[in-house]
Amino acid sequence: MRQHFSPVVNSLASVFRISSRPSPFQQPGLLSQTCKNTLAPGSIISSVNALRPFSSSSTLQARKGPVKTDKRVTLIRYFLNHPLTPRPLHFSRNRYLRHWTIHRAWQLYSAKQRKAQQLELERQWASMKDACEELRTGVGDGGRLFRTSMNKKGVFSDGIPIEYGRLQTDSPSKDGWDYAWKP
């Protein structure tokens, strides 16, 4: 006896079923029509082509064995059609509206926070740009301070600092601080 399930479960289960090609032996009308075509003069080749399998390598298919189904598909079918599978839960109208309202409010709040952060970064960038422009044109030294501030030569004049010479780690090294280190 086959149990009857909800249309949702049946439609989900049918999604994962692989439809097989109809063979002439599964449909009696198709077989009788094939026989009639075979008896007609000059149609033996067409009837042979109608009964021939899709693949011309049936011996290779026989050696491979039966077609293996995907285990994931088998598990999905099992759990969809299992008699102890509970019906899917649905929100009531009021609960759905509450959920949607809270979700939408959180999205609006997050968008507002992102916009505020973006505006703050743009403000900082504009302030730095204005300060550099003031150094370049506003000071009476002809932009010497601006050129000096933009010049990166000699920043690491005494070699590379030790924090750039080794990887940054969360814990100290086993050897401790190397006081004899020279660049």
CA gap 21, 35 in Å, rounded: 20
Residue 161 lies in a domain: no
Residue 135 lies in a domain: yes
Please give the residue range of the domain that contains residue 140: 93-149
Q: Give the count of domains, the chain.
A: 1
Residue 130 lies in a domain: yes
Highest mean pLDDT among 6-20, 49-63, 98-112, 157-171 belongs to 98-112
pTM of the model: 0.36
Q: Could you report the per-residue pLDDT of 60-101, keeping only the tens digit for each? A: 667 777 778 899 999 888 888 888 877 778 899 999 999 999
Q: How many helices (H) and strands (E) does the chain have?
A: 8, 0
Instruction: Output the average pLDDT for the chain.
Output: 75
Q: Could you report the per-residue pLDDT of 16-42, keeping only the tens digit for each? A: 654 444 444 445 555 555 555 555 555
Residue 113 lies in a domain: yes
Q: What pLDDT shows up at residue 141?
A: 81
Residue 19 lies in a domain: no
Q: Could you report the per-residue pLDDT of 130-156, keeping only the tens digit for each? A: 998 988 888 778 888 888 888 877 666
Residue 160 lies in a domain: no
In this prediction, residue 166 has a pLDDT band, given cuts at 50, 70 and 90, of low
- CB–CB of 16/76 below 8 Å? yes
Q: At 163, is the secondary structure helix, strand, or coil?
A: helix
Residue 159 lies in a domain: no
Residue 42 lies in a domain: no
